[in-house]
């Protein structure tokens, strides 16, 4: 009987002595739509974040990450539309410049009206097309900007929620990484 009580006492002490979790508090920050560990400079996986963050912070992280990913095609479309706009406006400028340089600088009159270079009409057409592409770039830039700002706010909320945990000391009994026992969180 004495051996059983001694064995159970040692087993009970062993369970409580290894009960504290080995998870150390780390500092995290946001970089390029990802959350990274500041000390190691490595990105944290979703599984690691799910175990580290509380439910509200993790949900904020998932929403922010999804919005960040959704903004990428909009930014690509904005860049493409902007490139086409600049190209068409530059082509129109080149046509207008060629018209001015190739014209013999004398105003020819026919029936009281000036005769303009035919390239001037083409230049105006290129400028109008470039303007439509510029308007398209602005239309894509608006949702991409909104999505990016929203994703940054959500990711910052998740990071701030983790980094500014309450400094309350809690004592819990339950399952840990090393067994069953008391955990002291501070």
Burial class (CB in 10 A: 0-12, 13-18, 19+), 111: exposed
* pLDDT tens-place string over residues 105-122: 444 544 444 445 666 677
**If you average pLDDT over residues 124-146, what whole number do you get?**
93
Greater confidence, 47 or 17?
47
Kindly report, residue by residue over 53-80, the tens digit of the pLDDT.
888 888 999 999 999 999 999 999 999 9
Quote the mean pLDDT of the chain: 79
Highest mean pLDDT among 14-28, 114-128, 167-181: 114-128
For residues 90 and 96, the answer to whether their CB atoms sit within 8 Å is no
pLDDT of residue 99: 67
Residue 136: the pLDDT is 94
pLDDT of residue 112: 45
pLDDT at position 5: 84
pLDDT of amino acid 118: 61
CB atoms within 10 A of CB 58: 18
Kindly write down the DSSP assignment for every residue of 58-99, as one continuous string.
HHHHHHHHHHHHHHHHHHHHHHHHHHHHHHHHHHHHHHHHHH
Task: Return the pLDDT at 122.
Answer: 75
CA distances to 124, 144, 151 from 148, in Å = 35, 6, 5
């Amino acid at each position: 009987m004495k051996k059983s009580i001694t064995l159970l006492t040692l087993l009970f002490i062993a369970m409580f002595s290894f009960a504290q979790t080995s998870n150390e508090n780390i500092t995290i920050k946001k970089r390029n739509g990802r959350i990274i560990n500041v000390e190691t400079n490595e990105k944290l996986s979703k599984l690691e974040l799910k175990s580290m963050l509380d439910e509200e912070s993790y949900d904020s992280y998932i929403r922010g990450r999804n919005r960040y990913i959704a903004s990428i095609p909009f930014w690509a479309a904005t860049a493409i539309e902007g490139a086409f706009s600049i190209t068409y406006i530059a082509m129109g400028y080149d046509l207008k410049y060629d018209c001015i340089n190739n014209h013999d600088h004398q105003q020819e009159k026919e029936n009281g009206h000036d005769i303009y270079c035919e390239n001037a009409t083409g230049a105006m057409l290129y400028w109008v097309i470039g303007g439509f592409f510029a308007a398209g770039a602005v239309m894509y830039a608006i949702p991409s900007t909104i999505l990016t700002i929203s994703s940054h706010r959500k990711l910052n909320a998740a990071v701030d929620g983790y980094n500014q945990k309450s400094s309350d000391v809690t004592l819990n009994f339950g399952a840990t990484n090393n067994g069953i026992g008391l955990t002291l969180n501070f």
